[in-house]
Amino acid sequence: MGPTELEKALMPFERKLRAQKRLRRLLGVREVDSPTYERYILGPVRRFDSRKNAFAAMMDGNPFGQAFREMYRRRTGVDSFSKPLPQEELDPSDRPAQALANAAWRLCREYYPGALPITPPQGRFETRDRAGMSKLIKKVAMWLGAEMVKITRVDQRWVYSDREVPEKYAVLVVVSHDRGLNRTAPSHLSGLAVGNTYSRLKFITTQLADFIQGLGYRAVYRETLGWNPEMLIVPMAIDAGVGEFSRTGRVLSPEFGTNMRIKAVSTDLPLETDRPISFGTHEFCMACENCARYCPANAVSFGEPTDAPESMFNNPGYRKWYIRADRCLLFWMADRKKWITCGGKCISVCPWNKPLHPFHNLIRRLAIHSPAGVKKMLVRADILLYGRTVKVQK
């Protein structure tokens, strides 16, 4: 039987999937049996309470966040993050960017569609070809706008203790930020890049869930944003082979660095999973402290990973780079005329955040396979060439 019309229509994404595999082979990215975050785990993992997430703690009535909310109000004059000033209080040159940022965030913050009804068993699309089904899901997600799609089993350790995700698999969807906008962080424009990326992810993941429900299998769009999170997206994405854990607490992928956002659809659709990867992120982050050096809030840690959590918002039980989320959130409201979220200065200064150009791919390969001294030289060269600015002061 020849390819179906749908398969023909999705052929460009078949080619894209192949090209992504080829690039990882060229870079020398290894697939491994166990996720490399295991080096950071000190003992049995205790599931984390979603209400202790710093964003969630800012919500009125959250029992863990009262002291934090009071301090936040004292220090910033507002009771929560991302409160835009009225347009008339902005410099005219900043008004369009703030207006666009508000527009870009809206879909992500306000779009919570119920899923389409699941097709009953007699109409279910039956197949034993798990590999083929995984490929179809990835291509459909890419057609919807995803830039990378990976699949893993849901590890219950990474589901918040007060949430339930009973489905067996998670489809991890990746979209990168507009690099030009991100480079301006902190600004309304870098905030706009984040909001736009999350909104696109919301669109992709809700439609992907509808598609799978239409095939006759349960699929749920899973919220990963701070104020209503359901699962820890960082270890899930590492399990799926998106990338590895980095100094910023984010996933760093060989293709996008940390310049990406990730959301998930959990599903019962039988799928073939991807494997975690290893390409020396820990070693590179040991040679590079750009995110810590240029974070305007001193929220990213320098030096070696530590087993001392920085605040109640950190999940204890690991020796890793902990992030001071409270400092980060305070900075967001430090100059509301110019920004309403930092938009990721820590992302914009990461040497891995470069286009997928043959020259940068050569440097990527060198960064993966070179000794610590060469890694340090590459970071130094990146700072000089890209004219990293001095730290933004509050």
- Which stretches of the chain bind ligand SF4, using CB under 6 A? 246-248, 252, 258, 284-285, 288-291, 295-297, 299-300, 328, 331, 342, 344-346, 349-352
* Beta carbons within 10 angstroms of residue 152's beta carbon: 25
Choose among 175, 6, 201, 205: nearest CA to 115: 205
Nearer CB in complex with ligand SF4: 2/355:
355
Token look-up 């706009």 returns 192
Number of neighbouring beta carbons within 10 Å of residue 130: 15
Q: Which residue lies nearer to ligand SF4 by CB, 173 or 297?
A: 297
Minimum distance, C-beta of residue 103 to ligand SF4, in the bound complex (Å): 21
Token match 């990882």: residue?
24
Tell me how far, at minimum, the Cβ of 330 lies from ligand SF4, in Å.
9
| Residue 35 or 220 with smaller CB distance to ligand SF4 | 35
Give the shortest CB-248-to-ligand SF4 separation in angstroms. Answer: 5
Q: How far is the CB of 341 from ligand SF4 (least distance, A)?
A: 8
Compute CA distances 362 → 78, 105, 354, whole Å: 47, 36, 12
Closest distance to ligand SF4 from the beta carbon of 291 (Å): 3
Contacts with 12 (C-beta within 8 Å, 6 or more apart), sequence order = none
Reported as type and span, the H/E element at residue 220 is strand 219-222
Report d(CA 277, CA 51) in Å as an integer. 31
Residue with smaller CB distance to ligand SF4, 165 or 185: 185
Q: Which is nearer to ligand SF4, 238 or 265 (CB)?
A: 238
Buried-state track 291-316, b at ≥16 Cβ within 10 A, e below 16: bbbbbbbebbbeeebeeeebeebbbe
Name residues whose C-beta falls within 8 Å of residue 61's C-beta, 6 or more positions apart in sequence.
Answer: none
Tokens representing 388 are 């990293």
Separation CA 53–CA 81 (nearest Å): 14
- Please, what is the minimum distance in Å from the beta carbon of residue 161 to ligand SF4? 25
How far is 381 from 368, CA to CA, in rounded Å?
Answer: 16
Minimum gap (Å) between residue 141 Cβ and ligand SF4: 26
CB of 332 to ligand SF4, least distance (A): 7
How far apart are alpha carbons 176 and 198 in whole angstroms?
10
Using the minimum distance from each CB to ligand SF4, give the nearer residue, 142 or 285.
285
- CB 345 → ligand SF4: shortest distance, Å? 4
- Cβ nearer to ligand SF4, comparing 154 with 287: 287
Looking at the Cβ atoms of 151 and 299, the one nearer to ligand SF4 is 299
Q: Closer to ligand SF4 by CB, 237 or 328: give it.
A: 328
101: alpha, beta or left? (left if phi > 0; alpha if psi -120 to 50): alpha
Cα distance between residue 188 and residue 341, in whole Å: 8
Query: Number of C-alpha atoms within 13 angstroms, CB side, residue 213?
Result: 16
